[in-house]
Copies of this chain bind each other. A is one copy, B any other.
């Protein structure tokens, strides 16, 4: 059912970017506004929204449905020219926002045939609205991360003498499902030893060895909302002094950043807090990515916790805090939580402990 509150917030944000009408095509943005997920593939899909008009769903008849979403439907067929349908709802005298994912196949004829005086990328206004989660969304994000915490407790028990990364990763989906999640938010990353020093490592046939770091970067989906957490364990024996040192630097970077998050500060300053901890210890060049990303219905949503992002946080933003040090000859460690920004600080969604744990 159409969420009028979300729609009004989007229209307000669009208006601040100079747009009074937009066609939203991203199926996740449409789901977030109407509650319904469409799989249109390469076919045209658009939810027309405007300040003083009722929303209209431009839908291929193949995806027809009975449910009342509180939105007028305008159906077209595969053989139809889509442009007249668009023209029947758009005000041609005003600028029109389109979705950043709208493809040239539809966008070029819309421009050539003048469906509006000017067409602009309207996604920033939508993304900015989606970046501020409402109470319903926060609650689903809390549950998704709670499942992730419980799953991590089981995942660490999967690592035993002789097991490969791939074998461990292959068991994680069933554990998520047994805990009530519907899917991965992304395929589980399991990395042993030097592999943990590659932030893009995919599970392979590497067998765990005594003294390895064991990294899990994992997440599930609950009612469509994504969790994402990273923890590092040590296999069979106490970490070496250098492993322990790197672990504690990353942990401090993670905790210092989380301690300073609140509404109204720059995303830059959060990244800098974590990065300064790592730089001060001489490992700056081994922290090779941004500190975090926004998350919600997608594992990676628009918004970066990055050095060059001077955008201010808002209460209701949810993002990851995931500093790492990747030095193959010493250790690969990343520690990641999700946080909800509040006026006074933040709520850390992951409660799984960060003390050094020896497993196996």
Contacts and interface: CB of A to CB of B under 8 A. Distances in A.
Contacts of A265: none
A86 interface: no
Number of chain copies forming the complex: 2
B119 A105 contact: no
A121 B104 contact: yes
A105 B111 contact: no
Interface string A104-120: 11011001000000011
A358 interface: no
Contacts of A111: 111
Interface stretch (A6-14, A53-61, A94-102): A94-102
A103 interface: yes
A208 B125 CA distance: 51
Given A79-B308, A308-B79, A107 B105 contact: no
Q: For the side of the interface on A, what is the size category? A: 10 to 19
A266 interface: no
A185 interface: no
A61 B120 CA distance: 28
Given A111-B111, A308-B79, A105 B120 contact: no
Contact of A105 (B105, B121, B308): B121
A123 interface: yes
A47 B246 CA distance: 42
Interface in A62-111: 79, 98-105, 107-108, 111
Contacts of A98: 104, 108
Contacts of A119: 108
Interface string A306-338: 001000000000000000000000000000000
Given A79-B308, A111-B111, A308-B79, A101 B100 contact: no
A3 to B, nearest CB: 24
Contacts of A121: 104-105, 108
A123 B101 contact: no
B105 A103 contact: no
Interface in A125-167: none
Contacts of A103: 100-104
A273 to B, nearest CB: 21
A118 to B, nearest CB: 9
Nearest to A108: B121
Interface string A254-292: 000000000000000000000000000000000000000
Contacts of A308: 79
A101 B105 contact: yes
A111 B111 CA distance: 10
Contacts of A101: 103-105
Contacts of A99: 104
24 contacts: A79-B308, A98-B104, A98-B108, A99-B104, A100-B103, A100-B104, A100-B105, A101-B103, A101-B104, A101-B105, A102-B103, A102-B104, A103-B103, A103-B104, A104-B107, A104-B121, A105-B121, A105-B123, A107-B107, A107-B108, A108-B119, A108-B120, A108-B121, A111-B111
